[in-house]
Structure 1
Amino acid sequence: MKLKKFLSSILSSNAAFVILLLLQIGFLMLAVTSLGERFVFFYIALIALDIVLVIYITNKSEPISYRVAWIVMISVFPLLGGVSYLYIKLTQQFPKSLDMRNQKQTRELLVQDEEVMAELEVRCPDSVNLARYVANYGMYPVYRSTCAEYFSLGEEQFSKLVEELEKAERFIFLEFFIITEGYMFDVMSELLIRKAKSGVDVRLMYDGIGTGMLNSMKPFRKLSENGVKCKVFNPFRPMVSSVQNNRDHRKIVIIDGHTAFNGGTNLADEYINRKERFGHWKDTAVMIRGKAVWNYTVMFMQLWEKSESKEIRRFAPVIKADAVPAVSDGFVQPFSDSPLDEEPVGKSVYLELINNARSCVCITTPYLILDEEMTNALGFAAKKGVDVRIITPHIPDKWYVHMIAWNNYSRLTAMGVKIYEYTPGFIHAKTCIADGTSAVVGTINFDYRSFYLHFECGSVLYNSSVIGDIYADFERTAAVSELITAEACEKRSVYKKIAGAILNIFAPLL
């Protein structure tokens, strides 16, 4: 356990800043001792490189917060800042086969039913532009013959998940960012092995850093030996490629193509409050049934190694079978967001909900690390008279993220946004509700990593009765949360204000 905590701390992203500083000091000492008088020419060459890179970064189309972070990094660490930027950019490439699957096969396998889009335009005119955007640029259609059920806690979701998994007859696909041993894993392992032995196609995919780096591989070997197909997404390879930043942060379970679960809950005991880490852990999820599950099936198979279009199509008859009840309760549009393109679908969905809201916007997120665009959108909505409320954790899992969040609290509260901290503990839920008529539940945090670096997913709900359940849960959660006032922000110590401001500069790199 001590070794695990030690590895976790040295491999955490906030350690990168300190490591870079130490590397620069060591590099400087080595350069001075080995180059002698020639060091000055080497130093001038590095400064020239930094100047060129700063000009290049300034004119890039990347988010301004990311560009500013790198410009500051290069200015503060002139010896290694520019070299580090070059290294990251030159090694930031995924296998071409994965890129082809995401860009081409999605268009081929997911076709929008124009009759559904036309009906959405009639019933939800304020939402149809968002649905068109997700269909055209996220490449995931919106569906009508689908119903949804909301879970306000991880333990509620897990109970229903086990119940539904027991009914599986054809296939079970599972995808998680974090999997750790414990009660939850034991229950799932026994069930999955039993299902695999009965002939069900069981596939489990987990992230190479979120799960694989700090956990024993023994439990996964046992699953594999008993018929469960296990895959590690983007295995951890230190100092090989910057694509180690691009993690699979999605949490998806698909059962026989007609039922799917998606939300913030990983496969670890803290998510169902069997293990206490940061007080009471609150997470949320949705279960959807019907045609929209096909979106989740395709997005899972696209990240499954060497999945070809032909193999993905094998599951289409199950998805579209007439036996699936044609239940219509509003519209559902599951979508995925990939770091392989330049389209921040998750962030754009959030922005559209915020910008188009007329009465209220209700957000839950564990991390509130905002760029200028998102801050301005939230602030402008509040200035227009929209009731903008955000719930974040009172007990954080990362101290530096909490400090950055407080830096954002000051700016948001000054513009009229209401911030609440979930006093019972840690809220890991990722939801956004607009006017009680549209909502998103999924895996997307309000931070740079979720918007630009990770593989993420979620379900957009339009005019669905389940939105009322999500809103009611938000109200209950806000009632047990502490309202953060502008006065509280102002009373923070000077040290915390300065530290928060500095960390906020480098937030896109954390």
Structure 2
Amino acid sequence: MKSSILKRSIIILLAAILQIILFSFLFTDLFRSIEHIEAILAFISLIIGLTIIRSELIGNFKIAWIILIFIFPVFAVILIFLLQRDRKKLKKNIMENAHKYERKYKLYDTSHLNYHERQVQLLNHHAHYNVCENNETEYYEIGEKFFRQLIIDLKKAKRYIFIQSFIINTGEMWGSILEILIEKAKTGVEVKVMYDDIGCFATLDPKYPEFLESKGIETQIFNPVKPVINTNVNNRDHRKIIVIDGEIAFNGGINIADEYINAIVKYGHWKDMGIKVTGDSAFEFAKIFLETWSFSRNVSVDVEKYKGNVETYNISNGLCIPFSSNPIDEDNLAVDLLLNIINNARKYIYITTPYLIIDDMMQNALINAVKSGVKIKIITPHIWDKKAVHMLTRSNYKRLCNYGIEIYEYTPGFIHGKTLVSDDKIAVVGSINLDYRSLFHHFECGTWMYETNSVKEVKEDFINTLKISKEITQEDYNKSFIYNFFIDLLYLFAPLM
């Protein structure tokens, strides 16, 4: 397997290098043949810069692009051309397949809700995700508990199993799941597995889908990496969804790899969180899965046949709205939802995130909330998985802490969970990190909950996690001038990464 992965990596790397060299030669020869090239480049840069300023991009993206244009005008022009071309292709692909999947929804009456009706209106009235009342939720504060329950429920599957994961890695976790999937496929259960190509680039053999298909498991690689320059390679499927019979669904930050259940140790103790929904919400997650499956495979999907038999549950425990976001929609739902929660909080907001790399708009929203009397606490990892990303995360500490936002680092190791709880009313558990990649470049998903039993569980887990976390002080973010200069420089281009 390692040889196949290495061979594929070398082919893609060499192809990319050759294309970059070719582009460089073409543009160099072109510019050498044109008189007054510096003046022409300056004019083009000015026009593109003005266009970006007047565009709907958020401020941090505008700054990054304008700096890039004026420092590397030729490279920036090529990159902008490729981005526009590839974005149009991806959007066209999704739109052309939209008719093969129809998102049916019902408008929910929000008149009986308090101030949280704004989030319901955003997710339901605007984004067209169904509000589910017939639910039961179960929160898992650690990957091991999530995994144990997942195995129990997978064995109960009678009709279908859908699995969508950013990372799948061979080992104890995937081995246990795969054994069940193979047995279920033999009995006629429909099994579909979808994983991201970049997420599994170094973990699965390029021919792994053939192996799974031979076992009766339908397999789809999301956005396969090809030896052709394509900026959509940055748009990854970061979602984690498992649906069983349209009656049970799992969501959260937990990928299918052994470090997520602490079967192996990579960065100290790995703390991840997930949610199980039973009832109407499970079918909503099936829809999110099938929507991605349909445009990835270019196939029509009869969504209704995957509806679960949930009438017998007769559950009434708050509200749930499973939702998703992607980099193609004009409205960025993940950002809009987070800002909505922050702006409407009255007492507190508690957040866990492995990365804290946010734009000025999000920072200002958090700061304004604190100024209005809202207590905000954020937990990030103490042991990092990516040095540069951790440095960028810490670069946000100073400004946020100076305004009274309390930031803690999870001292036992790496906290990978993505949770938010507010005012004992609202909680969100999902795949969305507080960084540019999740908020603007990736396909993501989450579970929004209102007054379910899991809202209390998310809060209790946060408070317990605080007890083994270190509060950030001035000593942690007061660094040398050279260090801060390097981080500020790196942060300028963070939106494009």
Determine if the TM-score, normalized by the shorter chain, exceeds 0.5: yes
Aligned residue in 1 for 2:82: 87
Aligned residue in 2 for 1:281: 270
One of 121, 125, 132 as aligned partner of 1:136:
125
Match of 2:55, as an amino acid? K
Aligned residue in 2 for 1:255: 244
CA 1:35/1:102 → structure 2, altered by over 3 Å: closer, same or farther? Answer: closer
User: Cα offset for 1:308?
Assistant: 2.3
**Residue pair 2:357, 2:435 contacting (<8 A) in 1 also:** yes
One of 351, 356, 362 as aligned partner of 1:363:
351
Aligned residue in 1 for 2:490: 503
One of 66, 75, 84 as aligned partner of 2:61:
66
Distance 1:37 1:362 in 2: 57
Q: What SS is found at the alignment partner of 1:314?
A: helix
Match of 1:157, as an amino acid? F
CA 1:70/1:37 → structure 2, altered by over 3 Å: closer, same or farther? Answer: closer
**Residue pair 2:251, 2:446 contacting (<8 A) in 1 also:** yes
User: Cα offset for 1:291?
Assistant: 0.9
User: Cα offset for 1:234?
Assistant: 1.1
Q: What SS is found at the alignment partner of 2:90?
A: coil
CA RMSD of aligned residues (A): 2.8
Identical aligned residues as a percent: 36
Aligned residue in 2 for 1:312: 303
User: Cα offset for 1:87?
Assistant: 1.8
Residues matched between the structures, number: 489
CA 1:431/1:36 → structure 2, altered by over 3 Å: closer, same or farther? Answer: closer
Distance 1:3 1:79 in 2: 36
Q: What SS is found at the alignment partner of 2:183?
A: helix
Task: Answer yes or no: is 1:185 the counterpart of 2:177.
Answer: no
Aligned counterparts, 1:325-364, within 5 A: 325-364=313-352
Match of 1:99, as an amino acid? M
Aligned counterparts, 1:78-227, within 5 A: 78-92=73-87, 93-94=89-90, 96-101=92-97, 105-107=101-103, 109-112=104-107, 114=108, 117-118=109-110, 121-122=111-112, 124-212=113-201, 215-227=204-216
Distance 1:40 1:159 in 2: 69
**Residue pair 2:64, 2:492 contacting (<8 A) in 1 also:** yes
Q: What SS is found at the alignment partner of 2:445?
A: strand
CA 1:380/1:103 → structure 2, altered by over 3 Å: closer, same or farther? Answer: farther
Match of 2:92, as an amino acid? K
One of 419, 436, 439 as aligned partner of 2:427:
439
CA 1:52/1:187 → structure 2, altered by over 3 Å: closer, same or farther? Answer: same
**Residue pair 2:269, 2:414 contacting (<8 A) in 1 also:** yes
Task: Answer yes or no: is 1:291 the counterpart of 2:280.
Answer: yes
User: Cα offset for 1:29?
Assistant: 12
Match of 2:330, as an amino acid? E
Match of 2:133, as an amino acid? R
TM superposition score normalised by structure 2: 0.92
Distance 2:141 2:64 in 1: 36
Match of 1:315, as an amino acid? Y
Provide, for residues 131-190 of structure 1, a one-character-per-residue CA deviation record: whole Å limited to 9, x for no partner.
111012321111111010000011110110000000000000000011111111111111
CA 1:178/1:452 → structure 2, altered by over 3 Å: closer, same or farther? Answer: same
Distance 1:199 1:238 in 2: 37
CA 1:9/1:330 → structure 2, altered by over 3 Å: closer, same or farther? Answer: farther
Provide, for residues 462-488 of structure 1, a one-character-per-residue CA deviation record: whole Å limited to 9, x for no partner.
011211111111011111111112343
Provide, for residues 87-118 of structure 1, a one-character-per-residue CA deviation record: whole Å limited to 9, x for no partner.
211221216352255589444x2334x4xx34
Aligned residue in 1 for 2:381: 393
Aligned residue in 1 for 2:72: 77
User: Cα offset for 1:493?
Assistant: 2.2
Match of 2:434, as an amino acid? F
User: Cα offset for 1:343?
Assistant: 1.1
User: Cα offset for 1:83?
Assistant: 2.1
Match of 2:263, as an amino acid? R
Aligned counterparts, 1:41-60, within 5 A: 41-60=36-55
Match of 1:180, as an amino acid? N
CA 1:398/1:106 → structure 2, altered by over 3 Å: closer, same or farther? Answer: farther
Q: What SS is found at the alignment partner of 1:341?
A: coil
Match of 1:45, as an amino acid? I
CA 1:387/1:35 → structure 2, altered by over 3 Å: closer, same or farther? Answer: closer
Q: What SS is found at the alignment partner of 1:349?
A: helix
Task: Answer yes or no: is 1:422 the counterpart of 2:410.
Answer: yes
One of 454, 457, 462 as aligned partner of 2:445:
457
TM superposition score normalised by structure 1: 0.89
Provide, for residues 263-282 of structure 1, a one-character-per-residue CA deviation record: whole Å limited to 9, x for no partner.
00001111111121111111
Task: Answer yes or no: is 1:470 the counterpart of 2:458.
Answer: yes
Q: What SS is found at the alignment partner of 2:163?
A: strand
**Residue pair 2:5, 2:206 contacting (<8 A) in 1 also:** no
Aligned residue in 2 for 1:270: 259
Distance 1:413 1:10 in 2: 46
CA 1:183/1:42 → structure 2, altered by over 3 Å: closer, same or farther? Answer: same
Match of 1:49, as an amino acid? I
User: Cα offset for 1:217?
Assistant: 3.4
**Residue pair 1:213, 1:236 contacting (<8 A) in 2 also:** no
Distance 1:453 1:289 in 2: 30
Distance 1:151 1:42 in 2: 60
CA 1:162/1:141 → structure 2, altered by over 3 Å: closer, same or farther? Answer: same
User: Cα offset for 1:45?
Assistant: 3.0
Aligned residue in 2 for 1:234: 223
User: Cα offset for 1:423?
Assistant: 1.0
User: Cα offset for 1:74?
Assistant: 1.2
